[in-house]
Amino acid sequence: MFKDRLDAGYALANRLLKYKNTDTIVLAIPKGGIPIGYIVANELRLPLEPIFSKKIGYPGYKEYAIGAVSAWGSFVTPHSGVSESYIREETDRIKEYLKQLQNAYLDGRAPAQLNGKTLIVIDDGIATGNTLLATINTLKQQQPAKIIVAVPVSTQLGFDLLSKHCDELISIITESQYFHGVGAYYQNFRDVSEEQVLYYLDKNRKKCDRIFKSDKPGISSVCENSQGKR
């Protein structure tokens, strides 16, 4: 069990040390993945970016993901009974929502360019894995060098599903039997506020700025990429 999301972040960072100071971007899923992603990015000296992505739910059963829309594209798995007009309307609605998030979290910057980069995708846990799978498929459209999914806890079902669709999957706790929800594996699983999200993103950007200005080898190009055109 983890004390909180920050504790989980340190545990994950220890599993990801080979990516320290490399051409890698940490992508964290708001809101729960942001504190974990911050610690991982901080420990590995990497830039942190929020994943602007939201699932497209099945009509009448929104929790079941049939696709996703992200700042980098969209992906839909064909399903019977789902019309093209429904997909189009949901995609447009989600794009507008993500634009608002982007304005709030990036303060006018464009999302990072992912082509050719190694991506570490962070969340606070995996249940079915369906939503994260849809997000991974949108990231693949940007042709990254590698996609690593890293979470503190996962079901065996979610682990088996996602391991087929990414280059590496790290789960510190993989529960094969009785899974009582992601929050059951944290002593403190309070909701992450908007203020906390902005705090962690701002702290990482300031650190990345310092690294960029000092022109440290290995990661200055990644920091420049994630901070926008200078």
Q: What is the pLDDT along the chain (230 residues), one digit of tens a residue?
A: 999 999 999 999 999 999 999 999 999 998 999 999 999 999 999 999 998 888 888 898 877 778 888 777 787 888 888 999 999 999 999 889 888 888 888 877 888 889 999 999 999 999 888 878 888 988 998 999 999 999 999 999 999 999 999 999 999 999 988 888 899 999 999 999 999 999 999 999 888 877 756 655 444 445 655 554 43
Token output for 193? 């506020």
**CB within 8 Å of 40: residues ≥ 6 apart:** 9, 12, 13, 16, 26, 46, 48, 120, 122, 150
Conformational region of residue 228, where left means phi above 0, alpha means psi within -120 to 50, and beta covers everything else: left
Residues pairing with 186 in the sheet: 2
Q: How far apart are CA 139 and CA 127, in angstroms?
A: 20
**Which pLDDT score, from 0 to 100, does residue 214 have?**
61
Separation between Cα atoms, residue 72 and residue 95, nearest integer Å: 10
Spatial CB neighbours of 152, under 8 Å, sequence gap ≥ 6: 2, 8, 11, 12, 36, 124, 125, 171, 172, 173, 185
User: What is the pLDDT, as a whole number, of residue 54?
Assistant: 83
Find, among 115, 130, 2, the residue nearest to 64 by Cα.
130
pLDDT of residue 212: 59
User: Which helix (H) or strand (E) covers residue 146, if one does?
Assistant: strand 146-155
Question: Which domains does the chain possess?
Answer: 5-49+112-227 (3.40.50.2020)
Q: What is the pLDDT of residue 109?
A: 81
